[in-house]
Amino acid sequence: MGVPRTYISKIENGKAMPTLSSLDRLARALQVDISALLRDAPTRHRDEAAVLLTDPFLAEVAKYTAHLTSTQKSIFINHIRELSQNAHQGRNRRMA
């Protein structure tokens, strides 16, 4: 790629300002348009959320989670994580 990993880390942590040349090489290596590297966090978050909400199940869940407190959201996410792990373990046992 032509850009040292340490330099990429510094860019990610806001300790270095990449040149346009570096951004171009990074974008080509990641197979994305350079504009994708220049989006601010709120825009990126909005775009990623829009993609996730195309899933009907996630869109339905989002209606309810929007009204939860941070503690309730944390509990909810932990329950979902536990359900996911249990389902994954169940599949692995059936395959064995």
Same domain, 13 and 56: no
Query: What number is the average pLDDT over the span 66-84?
Result: 89
Spacing of C-alpha 95 from chain mean position: 30
Who has greater pLDDT, 1 or 62?
Answer: 62
**Span of 8-12, 24-28, 40-44, 57-61 with lowest mean pLDDT:** 40-44
Same domain, 24 and 52: no
Number of domains in the chain: 2
Q: What percent of the chain has pLDDT over 90?
A: 9
Spacing of C-alpha 69 from chain mean position: 22
Query: What number is the average pLDDT over the span 28-36?
Result: 87
Same domain, 25 and 52: no
Q: Which domain holds residue 87?
A: 44-95
Helices (H), the chain: 5-12, 20-30, 34-38, 41-52, 56-65, 70-95
d(CA 79, CA 77): 5
Which pLDDT score, from 0 to 100, does residue 96 have? 59
